[in-house]
Amino acid sequence: MTNLFARFVKDESGATAIEYGLIAALVAVAAIVGMTAVGTKLQALFQGIQAKLVAPV
């Protein structure tokens, strides 16, 4: 039983897959945050343009 536990602790075969998964999740979160920021700025820009087009001359 001790030998089985020692092999389990030393086994690193899935560590790389977990690391790649964490990196992919971090990149996805960064992309979502970046796109949200850009979307908010674009929305404000288009609302400003709309206000100028609709305003009476």
- Is residue 6 pLDDT above 70, yes or no? yes
Mean pLDDT of 38-43: 96
Pick 11 or 37 by higher pLDDT.
37
Where are the domains positioned within the chain? 1-54
Q: What is the pTM of this model?
A: 0.62
Give the pLDDT band of residue 57 (cuts 50, 70, 90). low
User: How open is the CA angle 5-23-8, to the nearest 5 degrees?
Assistant: 5
Cα 35 to chain centroid, rounded: 10
Mean pLDDT of 4-12: 80
DSSP state of 14: T
